[in-house]
Amino acid sequence: MMTELEHYISSYFGVAQPGDLDAISQFFHRQTIKKGDYFLETGKASNRLSFIQSGMLRVYVQTEDKEVTQWISTKGYFVTDLAGFVFETPARWNIQALTDVELFTINRSDYIKLGHLIPKWHELEKLFITRCFIILEDRIFTHLSMTAEERYNFFFENNKELFNQVPLQYIASMLGMTPETFSRIRKKQLS
Amino acid sequence: MMTELEHYISSYFGVAQPGDLDAISQFFHRQTIKKGDYFLETGKASNRLSFIQSGMLRVYVQTEDKEVTQWISTKGYFVTDLAGFVFETPARWNIQALTDVELFTINRSDYIKLGHLIPKWHELEKLFITRCFIILEDRIFTHLSMTAEERYNFFFENNKELFNQVPLQYIASMLGMTPETFSRIRKKQLS
DNA sequence: ATGATTTCTTGATATTTGTCAAGAGCCAGG
DNA sequence: CCTGGCTCTTGACAAATATCAAGAAATCAT
């Protein structure tokens, strides 16, 4: 019987060998973050990757004139600053807990060990990141081809549950519109 | 002395072992495409990856009501439908030559051999795709935080040469605006 | 070169989205 | 419970962008 963590690893990386899953999950440890606290801050070292067992985190950055939410990560998904984690560069994003959060976390040094331990690891990683790449391609497409209202509807259809769990202003930002526009579209769609 | 192809491979994958570069480049073959012809079409198999030695290609998709240009690929860059190439799914994008094009092409079966031949190949691939991921992250950020005019300026600063080499309507689409808006911003910036 | 296409520009106007300001609703902590 | 601070909504208005239509400019094929 798989643990929840093993289930996540399996669904993301699709590890094949029977013993591997168990070996991989040994490297993860449980971690909790209180609502409002930071998983990561811009400029700091991004040296861990986590799967979210419960709760939500917001990935955002502060510009001169506003805060831009890049993404909201929820149960079952992973969270890290990928650029910083892979290339050991300063983190590009702030990652803050929107609720109390429970994580399964692996730090970089252990993560690197997986590459030695699991023969196919780098290949699985490649497939994993390629899937992330495709998601971003699709997201760019929504900005090239859809209006704010269409982006709202598209996102709503696929993420209904988020709308009563996180401050709507963050969803608005993530969809590339102001909270006021978001609110007006929302009103229109509810009726 | 490195060939141009070896230079591309090296700059994208940073292959370390001396003999490797040469071995890898053996798998590529030269290919040309005439202006207007397709490198790939939506729905077909994406079974090759190419580096562009000269010329330009446009990555786009046709929606009900308009054509959306996702990207324009130029000399020194690579071109493929990544999702299709990696997962053997039908191509998501059309890729059409904007000019006569010279390519160094590797097909999927040979590409897969590289994984056996070069020990670190999958790791290099991972790093390569992660860099692509980061580029898309940045691009999404431009849509979340910038106006059409800011996106124009930002892109123009980094890609001046494109502006007198490809139909501007495609750049407009790629930046998420109409050709008319693009034209007006352009006029404003020229004066 | 020349005519036919395509691409780009421009103007008038409509629509979408943003800004600013005020108020309403909703919690969380005392 | 209250109350202060968020968050969300709403209205009036401004700014940005899209649409439509026409003409100018550039490009292409012969």
Q: For nucleic chain D, give residues with Cβ below 7 angstroms from it.
A: A 167-169, 179-180, 182-184, 186-187; B 147-149, 176-178, 180-181
For range B175-183, the mean pLDDT: 98
Of the candidates A137, A120, A42, A95, the one whose C-alpha atom is nearest the C-alpha of residue B126 is: A120
B81 Cβ contact partners less than 8 Å away, ≥ 6 residues apart: B40, B46, B59, B91, B92, B93, B95
Helix axes A148-158, A121-145, angle to 10 degrees: 140
Predicted confidence at residue A119, as pLDDT, reads 85
For range A61-88, the mean pLDDT: 94
Q: Which nucleotides of D are covered by protein (CB under 7 A)?
A: 6-12, 16-21
The pLDDT-based confidence of A4 (bands split at 50, 70, 90) is confident
Q: What is the mean pLDDT of chain B?
A: 93
Predicted confidence at residue B119, as pLDDT, reads 85
Residues of A in contact with B145 (CB under 8 A): 63, 66, 68
pLDDT higher than 80, residue A17: no
For range B143-159, the mean pLDDT: 97
CA angle B163/B164/B165 to nearest 5° reads: 95
Residues of A in contact with B92 (CB under 8 A): 137
Phi then psi for residue A96, to 5 deg, are: -120, 145
Predicted confidence at residue A88, as pLDDT, reads 97
Query: Could you tell me which chain A residue has the CA closest to the CA of B146?
Result: A176
Q: CB atoms < 10 A from the CB of A51, how many?
A: 23
Q: Give tens-digit pLDDT for B101-135.
A: 999 999 999 999 999 988 889 999 999 999 999 99
Q: Where are the beta strands (DSSP E) in chain A?
A: 29-33, 38-40, 48-54, 57-62, 67-73, 78-79, 94-97, 101-107
Of the candidates B65, B73, B69, the one whose C-alpha atom is nearest the C-alpha of residue B169 is: B69
The pLDDT-based confidence of B53 (bands split at 50, 70, 90) is very high
Does residue B187 approach strand C to less than 7 Å at its CB? Answer: yes
Q: Give tens-digit pLDDT for A41-56.
A: 999 999 999 999 999 9
Q: Give tens-digit pLDDT for B58-88.
A: 999 999 889 999 999 999 899 999 999 999 9
| Distance in angstroms: CA A132, C1' C9 | 40
* Nearest nt by C1' to A184 Cα: D9
pTM: 0.94
Percentage of chain A modeled with pLDDT above 90:
79
For range B155-183, the mean pLDDT: 96
| Distance in angstroms: CA A179, C1' C20 | 13
For residues A36 and A21, give the distance between their C-alpha atoms in angstroms, rounded to a whole number: 32
Q: Give tens-digit pLDDT for B12-34.
A: 877 767 788 888 889 999 999 99
